[in-house]
Structure 1
Amino acid sequence: MIGRDELGDLLARLCPMYLLLDPEGAILRQGPTLRKLRPGRSLAGQRLFAVFDLQRPRSVTTMASLMQAAEGKLRLRFRDPPHTAFKGAVAPLPGGAGAIVNLSFGISILDAVRDHDLTSADFSGTDLAIELLYLVEAKSAAMAASRSLNLRLQGARIAAEEQAFTDTLTGLKNRRAMDHVLDRLLAAEAGFAVMQLDLDYFKTVNDTLGHAAGDHVLQHVARIMIEETREKDTIVRAGGDEFVLIFHDVEDRRRLERIARRLIARLEEPITFGEETCRISASAGTVLSSQLPARQASRLLQAADQALYQAKRSGRACHRFYDLAMEDGGCDGGTASREPEG
């Protein structure tokens, strides 16, 4: 008949998480993996129920009831931190000589590997735990790669959308972005204002100093517009020396007049380009979204353009508000000098 030592050696190879119990429930031997879970603290000599909390079935509280549960599954955990959880099965030894309890981690294997630094050598060669770990690691790696790819694709999409909506020379929004903004504001039935601004004398700069000087001036103009507006407002380079400013939640004429004055005043300041000095000005026309019964983007832009035309007819370097009388060409829309300060 096989001796206790030989049995222990055999079990250590086949069941590295076994417990050999005497008839009273004391632990006689333990598998090498269980020994690794409690380094420096041998389980030998301790009572099974003092080391483990049997959670299922709850009726198992003595060695006798453990023997009766031989055909069922056990669920238990260490009473001490980190309270590692186990699944188990018990096999009574012949002649009432005790029992063998074989343990496994079950679904808590990931926590056990992390908490106890386990490797493949700590598991039986037939244990599916290793394959499970490989599958989990492969899935984690695949998910990480997928997340990384999604982030890169999202970043590329955002960059592409930003590029599609941005004027490359000035960094301002382009016409495509303007259409999106106007459609969104009109759909939300929000109050806003549209200012169309053209640079005066810009063609002279281009013709006399060249396109490099013209590009420099346009970039300088863009910086001024950004500085004189809020982050929530939209500044658009509509093309050439034409700009559109959309003021969100603003329909106060006095406030818009002050903005127009500041813009024109700053744009008339000399602009240095190398050893040359560039001089421009600007004309602007503004329409309030509430002025037009038919809230259409094309109609708002047309009205702002009509106000701009009146500003240019008035001698340039000034600002006009849209007025319904402009439809018949009979009103100049008001000037900066006529608007009272608030």
Structure 2
Amino acid sequence: MDGALRSDPACIAEAELGRLMPMFLWIAPSGHIRCVGPTLAKLCDGLDLVGMRFFEVFEVSRPQLVATMVELRPLAGQRLHLSLRQPPRTALRGLCIPLLDGQGAILNLSFGIRVAAAVREHALSNRDFAPTDLTVELLYLTEVKEAVMEELAAMNRRLMVAQRAAEAQALSDALTGLANRRALDQALARALAAVRRGGVGFALLHLDLDFFKAVNDTLGHAAGDLVLSHVAEVLRAHTRVEDVVARVGGDEFVLILGGPIDGEEVMKIGARIIAGLERPVSFEGRECRISGSIGATLSAAYAAPDADRLLSDADSALYVSKRRGRGRCTIHWVGSDDAGGMKPMPDNGG
């Protein structure tokens, strides 16, 4: 056709048609491809489509399976679904328009909703689309939106991490990393609520360090901080992840040990904690020696346990340990023989 499609009364150069419709096909009545748009040629990189039969390159699936030009002609003007036969079998949409004078048909193709995937698979750019086609601009806006949404999501994740860190800091002791008094109050409230719902109960331990003041007075606060960090390590080593270990004062700690747990088990845990505390800590070539006194109580000993009563009874048991010579654990329980009064259980003997 001497480089032009001719149809009375108008004609258009193939190159210009390619600019207007970069994914067009001119199909001869015999079914052979006579001309192809530049973008469509790019999709079939490695194949010289001109001269090949249309149905060797493309598979038409809708509105019905089509395998010949005779079957294709009645579908002129209808929306066609087709795909390339060679990988990656790119899906396409098309519209077929017959030409006058028996010159065959023009088939104009597009990617439909899979345009984004096609752009990635075939490395297409703005030059591969018609100047009036808004596809690339829409893709750009979509990519910008995705980038903005990803950045917003990342910012939200950073804010959530920062929030959790701030919350953890607000509930943690700065020196030891243990829970602080605020965290203890919350944990104790949760434990009591669980008991009221029929939970198995827990043990509350109040630990006060023995001889800690002497370390601070003789070796300074740096040595005291080192000892407190050692205490935190000991407490973590002898409790479970689900237990709560809190520093509630300079050298005071409160532990909530989840149940089921009885007095015998509490005494064993208390003995192990005290043994760990009594291991000397070296500071600048000098040994720091401390111990600990523990008072404990069990939620199961109360008909209706409350936070203030538990803390008070554990504190009373702690001072029993102090009076008995320190370095020991004492448990208080509600005895039936004294109408609800507190009675010390046997201690570990220090």
TM-score, length-scaled by structure 1: 0.91
After superposing on structure 2, the runs of 4+ consecutive aligned residues of structure 1 that deviate more than 6 Å are: 326-330
Distance 1:289 1:83 in 2: 70
| 1:172 and 2:178 are equivalent in the alignment | yes
Corresponding position of 2:120: 114
Contact 1:193 1:246 in 2 (8 A): yes
Q: How does 1:1-342 map to 2 (within 5 A)?
A: 3-4=4-5, 7-58=13-64, 60-189=66-195, 190=199, 191-325=201-335, 331-337=343-349
Check 1:90–1:311 CA distance in 2 against 1; reply closer, same or farther (3 A cut): same
Contact 2:334 2:342 in 1 (8 A): no
Distance 2:48 2:168 in 1: 64
Contact 1:60 1:69 in 2 (8 A): no
Contact 1:282 1:317 in 2 (8 A): yes
Q: Deviations over 1:84-126 (max 9, x none)?
A: 0111111110123211000111111111111111111111111
Deviation at 1:4, TM superposition (A): 3.3
Which deviates the most, 256-265 or 175-184? Answer: 175-184
Tell me, which stretches of 5 or more residues in structure 2 are unaligned? 7-11
Deviation at 1:187, TM superposition (A): 2.9
Contact 1:20 1:99 in 2 (8 A): yes
Distance 1:56 1:296 in 2: 74
Contact 1:310 1:333 in 2 (8 A): no
Deviation at 1:179, TM superposition (A): 2.1
SS in 2 for 1:323: strand
Contact 1:320 1:334 in 2 (8 A): yes
Distance 1:59 1:229 in 2: 71
Report how many aligned residue pairs link the two structures. Answer: 338
Distance 1:151 1:335 in 2: 50
Check 1:3–1:279 CA distance in 2 against 1; reply closer, same or farther (3 A cut): closer
Tell me, which stretches of 5 or more residues in structure 1 are unaligned? none
SS in 2 for 1:82: coil
CA RMSD of aligned residues (A): 2.3
Distance 2:138 2:298 in 1: 66
Check 1:44–1:18 CA distance in 2 against 1; reply closer, same or farther (3 A cut): same
Q: Could you tell me which amino acid in structure 1 is paired with residue 5 of structure 2?
A: R
Q: Deviations over 1:161-213 (max 9, x none)?
A: 11111100111111122122223333333332111101112222223333222
Contact 1:311 1:332 in 2 (8 A): no
SS in 2 for 1:331: strand
Distance 1:143 1:236 in 2: 41
| Same amino acid, percent of matched pairs | 48
Q: Could you tell me which amino acid in structure 2 is paired with residue 334 of structure 1?
A: P
Q: Could you tell me which amino acid in structure 2 is paired with residue 172 of structure 1?
A: L
TM-score, length-scaled by structure 2: 0.89
Contact 1:307 1:333 in 2 (8 A): no
Q: Could you tell me which amino acid in structure 2 is paired with residue 39 of structure 1?
A: D
SS in 1 for 2:248: strand
Q: Deviations over 1:234-253 (max 9, x none)?
A: 21101111101121234132
SS in 2 for 1:71: coil
